[in-house]
Chains A and B, each alone.
Chain A
Amino acid sequence: MSERDSVDLSGDRGAQDVRESIYHAAFFACAAVSVLTTLGIVAALIAPTIQFLGEVSVSSFLLGTEFTPKIKPVSFGVLPLVFGTLLITAGAAAVALPVGLLTAIYLSEYASGRQRAVLKPMLEVLAGVPTVVYGYFALVYVTPLLDAIPGVELGTFNALSASLVMGIMIIPMVSSISEDSMSAVPDSLRNGAYGLGATKYDVATSVVVPASISGVAASYILALSRAIGETMIVVVAAGQNARFPGSVPDLLTSFFESTQTMTAAIVQLGLSDLAGGTTGYRALFAIGLTLFVMTLLLNLISDFVAQRYQEEY
């Protein structure tokens, strides 16, 4: 024994091994929290949803065009909410996708190092402002501003100002990921194009953007997913009026009127039915599950696009 002791330089290995495995287990437990979170989300959403679908049929939930949880006869059709969500997302996308792409082009192709160092943190600030603050901006400042434009008749709550402000919020999501993938385009491609007589404009639009299209597409999808899941802006500024357009003119005027998104409906039910035990309470989770599935699918598609269509250099 004494000989072995003299060989073992690290001292008391027995206690040390126990300690090492305690820490290993503790760290593993911390890492497992994230998996438990996912399982928790899925379980918390699915259990009440199954119960809900026992009370309201699947077809009347998924295909119903009326969402009136408070007015008798109550009806829980999710389509008006999906329409409201898509309407606002489309409005936000109309602002954020082109602006974000152009911003990314400027940052990666035109801006000097110093301009980049100033612009990038300032763009990140756009994503850091609390969403309830954006909602307040949309309601109190943007709506009166847009209403003052001749020919635009806006309600106090409307989809237009909510989606505009949301668009501003998600610009940095588009620009930062797009710029990353544009910066990854090797300079040899740019130089090759210059060698063929291309202008800077040609290089930016015909070489860099096509070469980084997978990253741009991934950023677009991610931004859409963020817009779909955004809650406070629409709750504060877009109102609580679930509507499903019956005709094409109705669709066009939808932007100027109050609209309810899925997230806003969740909040509305959350503020009234939190005590539990009601169909409205369970509808909350059913809508939440729909939202979760939509955003999860978009995130997975975004990942897939970014990896599958990535150009290798």
Chain B
Amino acid sequence: MATDTDRANPGGESGFGRVSRIRGRLFESLTLGASVFGIAALGVLLAYVFWDAFGLDAAEPVWYAVFAGLTVLPAVGFVWYARRAPAVGETSLELVSTLLAGVLGGFGAVAVLEVIAGDEVWFAYCCTVVAPLVGLYVYGRLDQTATWVGLGYLTTLVAGPVVGTLLLGPLRTVAALLGAPLVYLVTLVVPTAVAVRYVVGDRLALGNGNYAAAGLLAVAVLGVPVVDRVGVSRSVWLLFLVALAPTGVVVWKNAADGRWAGLLGPVGVVGGLAATVAVTDLVGIAGPEPWFDWQYVTTAPSQTAAEAGLYPAIIGSVFVIVLVAIITLVVAIGAAVYLEEYAPTGGVAGGFARLIRINISNLAGVPSVVYGLLGLGVFANLANLGVGTVITAAFTLSLLILPIVIISAREAIQSVPDSLRQASYGMGATRWQTVRRVVLPQALPGTLTGTILALGRAIGETAPLIMIGVATTAFSPPSGLFSRTSAMPMQVFVWSSYPSEAFQHGVVAAGVVTLLIVLLTMNSIAILVRNKFERETH
């Protein structure tokens, strides 16, 4: 900057030049200060809340030294190293995000399948909806000329749930005979093993896919005695195994490429934490007394701060967000495809499409509490879906984030080059075939990134949930679409009005940290999807 000022003032050290140079420097520092102000303020507040949530007050000074030496120092060293070797940083980002996604997915699977639906109901709908869909997908990949596959999807999506509901009784009996772990083994672990076989053997060509699949199944079965001893249920073990299978593939892929260094960082941090705990336990140094711990995420809320937990709220939030993800993805992609690929530019239909576009950008600016009023008036009361039920919450939050997701899906579709479309039409493809085979595969990563970021917004929304009467405190997780639920931000909101110090600086802080960890995970998954997409297009 100084050089610019010098150039602009050839007079050099004249009084005028000096004054204007000082003024320029001051202004630059002022703008820099402003840029950092908000970030620094948020950083300080986050430091406070993490300090409270992990109860770092209670730790002895020696503990900090051990923690710094065994965890922080290696982590900082690794980050410093990764900055100079971008490939290493990329590998660790990939590993960390897939691992976090796996853990989050595991919790999601346990919440939706085990806690809410139950293995029997899952088995029924798996047989009538999920299995036919997967079968159709695989058949469509194998036989590219089968034009009826698309209609098959629609038919299955419409008829499958009906058939599943009709046959619920007999299928539940079958599932009860199999038992929950066997149901998950058949419906999830075996398909995952087949997928792993395909990915490892054919897609990435890492090695023999049969061995990989057999290895996964062997781990699933051989792990059973271990988890029995530890006290984890077999179903939970299998669900987490399925959710973490992609992480295993990522580790294998990077190891096969000789990128061991990138794996070192995440492993080092986890190992360092374990070492810190082990060393301090052994020597008898008082560590922190975290509010945010296993007990906190697995028990129900309580009036006693020490016993309070977030479990029902976490399950409720996960359930609602899974539904919101499905609804918004389908509707937003449909709307974006219509606006970008189908909508005419002239005539009545063109005018309507323009109206929709203007309308979407205005909807994005409507306060969230107004969406809550919409949910209360239309879904809860008019459509009679019930006050504070899972389905009301899911519809309301879906409408809330729909404009954002539609905008990002439209941008993703716009970025697909027109030459691809024209080539497709030139080959005699119809509009739908072009959309399905050319536009959507190209636009999907961008849409997914936007969707995940918007879901992050949905998971933290509180005001609309208050308006539709979501339970302020629930002691058991929701059992179905029409049961009343709680949600993480709701619980944080309610607890924040408790005057007691233990709640204000302990329980709520832990709730905030839970919420932020979930958000951070979702954002890092979004970044991963975007990076992967950018690498593939360049």
**Residues of chain A having any CB pair with chain B under 8 Å:** 9-12, 15-16, 19-20, 22-24, 26-35, 37-38, 40-41, 43-45, 47-48, 98-100, 102-103, 105-107, 109-111, 119, 122-123, 125-126, 128-133, 135-137, 139-142, 168, 171-172, 175, 194, 197-201, 204-205, 222, 225-226, 228-232, 235-236, 263, 266-267, 270-271, 274, 276, 284-285, 288, 291-292, 295-296, 299-300, 303
| B residues 417-469 in Cβ contact with A at 8 Å | 428, 430-432, 435, 453, 456-457, 459-463, 466-467, 469
Judged by a CB distance under 8 angstroms, whether B318 is at the interface is no
- B-chain residues with CB within 8 Å of residue A291 when the two chains form the complex: 367, 369-370
* Distance of A271 Cα from B332 Cα, bound (Å): 32
Please tell me if the beta carbons of B27 and A35 are within 8 angstroms of each other in the complex.
Answer: no
Shortest Cβ distance from B69 into chain A, in angstroms? Answer: 28
Please tell me if the beta carbons of A201 and B24 are within 8 angstroms of each other in the complex.
Answer: yes
Please tell me if the beta carbons of A102 and B461 are within 8 angstroms of each other in the complex.
Answer: no
* Distance of A132 Cα from B461 Cα, bound (Å): 8
11 inter-chain pairs at a CB distance below 8 angstroms, sorted by A residue, are A10-B430, A12-B147, A19-B432, A23-B435, A103-B34, A199-B9, A205-B27, A229-B366, A232-B463, A292-B366, A296-B365
Please tell me if the beta carbons of A34 and B406 are within 8 angstroms of each other in the complex.
Answer: yes
Judged by a CB distance under 8 angstroms, whether B337 is at the interface is yes
* Distance of A263 Cα from B333 Cα, bound (Å): 32
- B-chain residues with CB within 8 Å of residue A40 when the two chains form the complex: 374, 377-378
Since A111-B35, A172-B38, A226-B365 are in contact, a sample of 6 more A-B pairs with Cβ atoms closer than 8 Å, ordered by chain A residue number, is A30-B334, A31-B353, A128-B519, A140-B505, A222-B365, A292-B367
Please tell me if the beta carbons of A133 and B460 are within 8 angstroms of each other in the complex.
Answer: yes
Q: Which residue from chain B places its CB closest to the CB of A110 in the assembled complex?
A: B28
Judged by a CB distance under 8 angstroms, whether B39 is at the interface is yes
* Distance of A246 Cα from B516 Cα, bound (Å): 42
Count class of interface residues, chain B = 35 or more
- A-chain residues with CB within 8 Å of residue B331 when the two chains form the complex: 30, 33
Judged by a CB distance under 8 angstroms, whether B146 is at the interface is no
Please tell me if the beta carbons of A133 and B366 are within 8 angstroms of each other in the complex.
Answer: no
Please tell me if the beta carbons of A31 and B493 are within 8 angstroms of each other in the complex.
Answer: no
Please tell me if the beta carbons of B1 and A110 are within 8 angstroms of each other in the complex.
Answer: yes
Please tell me if the beta carbons of B428 and A133 are within 8 angstroms of each other in the complex.
Answer: no
Q: Which residue from chain B places its CB closest to the CB of A292 in the assembled complex?
A: B370
Flag the segment in B41-49, B217-225, B234-242, B477-485 that touches A.
B41-49
Please tell me if the beta carbons of A132 and B462 are within 8 angstroms of each other in the complex.
Answer: yes
| A200-B370 in contact given A33-B335, A110-B28 (Cβ < 8 Å) | no
Shortest Cβ distance from B386 into chain A, in angstroms? Answer: 12
* Distance of A225 Cα from B431 Cα, bound (Å): 40
Q: Which 7 A-B pairs have the closest CB atoms?
A: A229-B367, A130-B460, A30-B334, A44-B377, A102-B34, A106-B31, A27-B338
* Distance of A231 Cα from B33 Cα, bound (Å): 29
Shortest Cβ distance from A168 into chain B, in angstroms? Answer: 5
Shortest Cβ distance from A48 into chain B, in angstroms? Answer: 7
Judged by a CB distance under 8 angstroms, whether B512 is at the interface is yes
Please tell me if the beta carbons of B38 and A16 are within 8 angstroms of each other in the complex.
Answer: no
Secondary structure type dominating chain A contacts? helix
| A201-B20 in contact given A27-B335, A128-B519 (Cβ < 8 Å) | yes
* Distance of A296 Cα from B387 Cα, bound (Å): 27
Judged by a CB distance under 8 angstroms, whether B4 is at the interface is yes
- A-chain residues with CB within 8 Å of residue B356 when the two chains form the complex: 31-32, 34-35
Shortest Cβ distance from A3 into chain B, in angstroms? Answer: 19
| A135-B496 in contact given A103-B35, A201-B24 (Cβ < 8 Å) | yes
| B residues 65-114 in Cβ contact with A at 8 Å | none
- A-chain residues with CB within 8 Å of residue B45 when the two chains form the complex: 137, 141-142
Judged by a CB distance under 8 angstroms, whether B260 is at the interface is no
Please tell me if the beta carbons of A284 and B373 are within 8 angstroms of each other in the complex.
Answer: yes
Instruction: Among A28, A119, A199, A231, point to the contact of B463 (Cβ < 8 A).
Output: A231
* Distance of A63 Cα from B23 Cα, bound (Å): 49
- A-chain residues with CB within 8 Å of residue B399 when the two chains form the complex: 33, 37
- B-chain residues with CB within 8 Å of residue A99 when the two chains form the complex: 34, 37-38
Q: Which residue from chain A places its CB closest to the CB of B3 in the assembled complex?
A: A200
Judged by a CB distance under 8 angstroms, whether B348 is at the interface is no
* Distance of A146 Cα from B372 Cα, bound (Å): 33
Please tell me if the beta carbons of A200 and B1 are within 8 angstroms of each other in the complex.
Answer: yes
Please tell me if the beta carbons of A102 and B31 are within 8 angstroms of each other in the complex.
Answer: yes
Judged by a CB distance under 8 angstroms, whether B8 is at the interface is yes
Please tell me if the beta carbons of A34 and B369 are within 8 angstroms of each other in the complex.
Answer: no
Shortest Cβ distance from A145 into chain B, in angstroms? Answer: 9
Q: Which residue from chain B places its CB closest to the CB of A205 in the assembled complex?
A: B27
Shortest Cβ distance from B468 into chain A, in angstroms? Answer: 9
Instruction: Among A29, A47, A270, point to the contact of B334 (Cβ < 8 A).
Output: A29
Please tell me if the beta carbons of B365 and A236 are within 8 angstroms of each other in the complex.
Answer: no
| A41-B365 in contact given A132-B460, A171-B38 (Cβ < 8 Å) | no
| A199-B34 in contact given A34-B402, A133-B492 (Cβ < 8 Å) | no
Q: Which residue from chain B places its CB closest to the CB of A9 in the assembled complex?
A: B428
- A-chain residues with CB within 8 Å of residue B21 when the two chains form the complex: 199
Please tell me if the beta carbons of B493 and A141 are within 8 angstroms of each other in the complex.
Answer: no
Judged by a CB distance under 8 angstroms, whether B368 is at the interface is yes
| A270-B515 in contact given A9-B428, A34-B359, A229-B368 (Cβ < 8 Å) | no
- B-chain residues with CB within 8 Å of residue A230 when the two chains form the complex: 367
- B-chain residues with CB within 8 Å of residue A229 when the two chains form the complex: 366-370
Q: Which residue from chain B places its CB closest to the CB of A44 in the assembled complex?
A: B377
Please tell me if the beta carbons of A33 and B402 are within 8 angstroms of each other in the complex.
Answer: yes
| B residues 328-349 in Cβ contact with A at 8 Å | 330-335, 337-339, 341-343
Judged by a CB distance under 8 angstroms, whether B156 is at the interface is no
Please tell me if the beta carbons of A137 and B373 are within 8 angstroms of each other in the complex.
Answer: no
* Distance of A199 Cα from B371 Cα, bound (Å): 49
* Distance of A12 Cα from B1 Cα, bound (Å): 69
Judged by a CB distance under 8 angstroms, whether B32 is at the interface is yes
| A126-B335 in contact given A110-B1, A199-B24, A201-B27 (Cβ < 8 Å) | no
* Distance of A44 Cα from B381 Cα, bound (Å): 10
* Distance of A269 Cα from B281 Cα, bound (Å): 51
Please tell me if the beta carbons of B37 and A45 are within 8 angstroms of each other in the complex.
Answer: no
* Distance of A99 Cα from B37 Cα, bound (Å): 8
Please tell me if the beta carbons of B24 and A19 are within 8 angstroms of each other in the complex.
Answer: no
Please tell me if the beta carbons of A270 and B34 are within 8 angstroms of each other in the complex.
Answer: no
Shortest Cβ distance from B504 into chain A, in angstroms? Answer: 5
Q: Which residue from chain A places its CB closest to the CB of B367 in the assembled complex?
A: A229
Please tell me if the beta carbons of A204 and B515 are within 8 angstroms of each other in the complex.
Answer: no
Judged by a CB distance under 8 angstroms, whether B414 is at the interface is no
Please tell me if the beta carbons of B367 and A98 are within 8 angstroms of each other in the complex.
Answer: no
